[in-house]
Structure 1
């Protein structure tokens, strides 16, 4: 189609209205997925407002835990300043893969043939009054 739908659709990223609303707001940082974080203004309780502009589809599971903490005012400054460096054994956060080709599907799932192994002898059905 060739038409840029970004000004009209919110599910593909920030709309034109969102970008206009971010004028004058401070860019705080960017995560390893390319999401950009902003802060500026205050809500009626005096708490600073914070935003994330997603790189790609708008999916809240694509916000890493350290930036989630910042967005929800659990830490005051950007994660690279407020949190210790990641440990060598930590694995990077992954977005929710449900509904994608990479989603977990157990052996009995319809996508894997719908057949599962028969129960062994370790299961005993519950019977009322037994």
Structure 2
């Protein structure tokens, strides 16, 4: 049916003979590792039958405020690591004056 910007390829069965419901089967073959967050919104809508036509035939309008889909980077070297996390050395900045430690009475 088509291919997205990540190189993922999308397919639809010719008929619904192997379907468990009334829909034709739709699936994706990922380019690289299989991660569902690598599927752009327009293709995700088509895969889940929210959209009848694939984005190759009926592209969705992009609004100026919409951002591109980003894959989930958790567990990769590109994952966000906040200051003070163990993967960044575990050093936290000193507390500012707006913090008061609690002590039991």
User: TM-score, normalization: structure 1?
Assistant: 0.66
* Aligned residues between the structures: 101
Q: Partner residue of 1:15?
A: none
The runs of 5 or more residues in structure 1 that have no matched partner are: 1-27
- Between structures 1 and 2, the one with greater strand share: 1
Structure 1 equivalent of residue 85 of structure 2: 109
TM-score between the two structures when normalised by the length of structure 2: 0.80
The equivalent of 1:50 in structure 2 is 26
- Larger helix percent: 1
Q: Give 1:39's aligned residue.
A: 12
SS in 2 for 1:58: coil
1:98 aligns with 74
Q: Which has the higher contact order (CA 8 A, sep 6+)?
A: 2
Shift of 1:82: 5.0
Tell me the alpha carbon deviations over residues 18-57 of structure 1, each in whole angstroms, 9 at most, x when there is no partner.
xxxxxxxxxx111000101001132232112101011111
Give the superposed CA RMSD. Answer: 2.3
